[in-house]
Amino acid sequence: MTTQTTATEHPEHGEGGQYTTPGKEFTRDTTYITTRITTDGADGYPVEAGRYRLVAARACPWANRTIIVRRLLGLEDAISLGTPGPTHDADSWTFDLDPGDTDPVLGIAKLKEAYLKRFPDYSRGITVPAVVDERTGAVVTNDYAQITLDFSSQWREHHRDGAPELYPEHLREEIDEVNARVYSEVNNGVYRCGFAGSQLAYEQAYDRLWSALDWLEERLTHQRFLIGETITEADVRLFTTLVRFDAVYHGHFKCNRNKLAEMPALWGYARDLFQTPGFGDTIDFAQIKEHYYVVHTDINPTQIVPVGPDLSGWVSPHGREELGGRPFGDGSPPAPPREGEQVDPAHTPLR
């Protein structure tokens, strides 16, 4: 089943964020193509290794989640990965990083082609992440929140040996509760600040964001991970915002009460995850900065990309081991990124 509505899309990420108008709060349109890929194939798309391609730009925090979960669970053999470039226009994400500016598996130059293949009259923004059926070249889903949950629950047959339990049954209620607040106040909160349409809307968004970050600082002062003793879906969702905070959100989105590096627990937590296989090795800081500062011409009309900040702190000792916990529980870290899926060494402090 699919759900579509028509909305005025902000072109920034193709993430379903509506334009703000003067005096208005930024509102993200959260209606997506809700078709699911499941073991029983109830929506017409059964789990099948080698059939689907995850299209996920490294620049986008919502897409970055899916890249991380795919790595942690070891789904590289089951689901291929296509990575659009960091910039795009209002029309579509494009495959300008690939030879001939064309995705080598799907044979398309613009992700929009996969959307129109299934929905010829598709009128919404072209968003990442998206899962595309390689057989037909048509998009299956762009419901980013459900995609990662289904990677954990529906693709278990294809998980690597030692894959972590990112969404364990006994913790789901707490994970869902934390995820809801993190999404509303942090993941989306930074955008609410950046795209506020008035001073009042900005200040209200700013207060909400920092209230939530202070709550997280307190929570993570006493425990290594957000939920329980191991990494879960909740940590993935928070991490992709934190890793962009000082490089982009602090200045570009005016989230500038202080830097992440000035919050001891959150900074240690973010570095702990960054240095964990499957997290930091998916982060391309150059692409992240180019995306935000070049695409958001309404916020940054000069399109000048800042040289800083210094990234060396991301690989400094974090000391979070003292809080205990086991990142992968009874499992093990994933293998290094595969050939063709590594981040350019010049774009990361990891060596």
Q: Which residues touch 65 (CB under 8 Å, ≥6 apart)?
A: 129, 144, 148, 236, 237, 240
Q: Which residues touch 179 (CB under 8 Å, ≥6 apart)?
A: 233, 234, 237
Confidence label for 113 from pLDDT (cuts 50, 70 and 90): very high
Catalytic entry in 32, 191, 292, 293: 191
| 191 noted as active-site residue | yes
Catalytic entry in 52, 60, 202, 292: 60
Q: How deeply is 311 buried, as exposed, middle or buried, from its count of CB atoms within 10 A (0-12, 13-18, 19+)?
A: middle
Residue 194's closest CA among 340, 45, 17? 17
The neighbour count for residue 238, using CB atoms within 10 Å, is 24
Sign for the pseudo-dihedral over CA of 286, 287, 288, 293: positive
Go through the chain and tell me how many residues it has. 351
Both structure tokens of 338: 């595969």
Q: What is the reported pLDDT for 2?
A: 34
In the sheet that holds 79-82, the strands lie side by side as: 79-82, 52-55, 130-133, 138-141
Q: Give the chain's domains with CATH numbers.
A: 170-347 (1.20.1050.10)
Predicted confidence (pLDDT) per residue in 135-155, tens digit:
999 999 999 999 999 999 999
Average pLDDT, the chain: 93
The neighbour count for residue 175, using CB atoms within 10 Å, is 21
Predicted confidence (pLDDT) per residue in 183-231, tens digit:
999 999 999 999 999 999 999 999 999 999 999 999 999 999 999 899 9
- When pLDDT is averaged across residues 327-348 and rounded to a whole number, the result is 96
Q: Is the pLDDT of residue 1 over 70?
A: no
Q: Is the pLDDT of residue 3 over 70?
A: no
Confidence label for 5 from pLDDT (cuts 50, 70 and 90): very low
| 60 noted as active-site residue | yes
Q: What is the reported pLDDT for 21?
A: 47
Q: Is the pLDDT of residue 309 over 80?
A: yes
